[in-house]
Amino acid sequence: MNKRIRQVHRWTAIAFTVSVIAAFIALAQPEPAVWVSYVPLIPLAALLLTGLYLFTLPYAATWRRTRRTADQV
């Protein structure tokens, strides 16, 4: 599961980068569509969720390890 989350996080980062570049290009047009500036928010939300999960993994492992040793004593 962790491997899949990391993979999703990496691909979402690529999608976010591409959407930001596309938004910059679209907004540089003479008649820019304002809604294009909101498109990068979708992959950014996914990056937030997967990033928070990946950030908490080491803390959760430490918490589980200390609980397991406390239960054995």
Q: Is the pLDDT of residue 70 over 90?
A: no
Q: Is the pTM of this model over 0.95?
A: no
| 51 — pLDDT class (breaks 50, 70, 90) | very high
Q: Please, which residues have CB within 8 angstroms of residue 66's CB and are 6 or more apart in sequence?
A: none
Question: pLDDT per residue over 32-44, tens digit each?
Answer: 888 999 999 999 9
Give the integer Cα–Cα distance in Å for 6 and 17: 17
Give the integer Cα–Cα distance in Å for 10 and 24: 22
